[in-house]
Amino acid sequence: MKPNILVIDDEESIRFTFERFLTLEGYSVVTARDCREAWARINQGAVDLVFADIVLPDGTGMDVLGEIKRTQPACPVIMMTAYPSVETARESLRLGASDYITKPVRQQEVIDSVKLVLQRKHKANRRTKGNG
């Protein structure tokens, strides 16, 4: 079964680019342009990984990250921003982000990040099941 990836970004070109990159790699992709739409997508079904832009029109990617980690702690979240800073990177990781990438994105960077994060998630799931 293909992993389901949610991409949250207010820029249509970013959503389209991520959808294209990830679909070509065999992933199932849904997109959202803001926090409200993201929660609707998350509530519609299982999401295996989330890309969240830090700046959104109705909140922040940090809000999304915090809520996902509170409600679905096993779901990895990769934060992305066009305005990187040490502070946002530190805060993202403190809140439980699995990775932090900057825009403009490069296709290989996106693919590598997804593979690494999903591999870590799979290993964590195997350890949990093996201990249960």
Q: Cα separation of 68 and 23, whole Å?
A: 23
pTM equals 0.93
Contact between 63 and 50 under an 8 Å Cβ cutoff? The reply is no
What average pLDDT does this structure show over 11-16? 97
CATH of 4-130, one of 2.70.70.10, 3.40.50.2300, 3.10.620.30, 3.40.50.20: 3.40.50.2300
Q: Name the average pLDDT for the chain.
A: 93
Contact between 113 and 76 under an 8 Å Cβ cutoff? The reply is no
pLDDT tens for 78-94 read 999 999 999 999 999 99
Closest to 8 measured CA to CA, from 37, 44, 48: 37
Question: Tell me, what amino acid is at 120?
Answer: R
Q: Of all residues in the chain, what percent carry a pLDDT higher than 70? A: 98
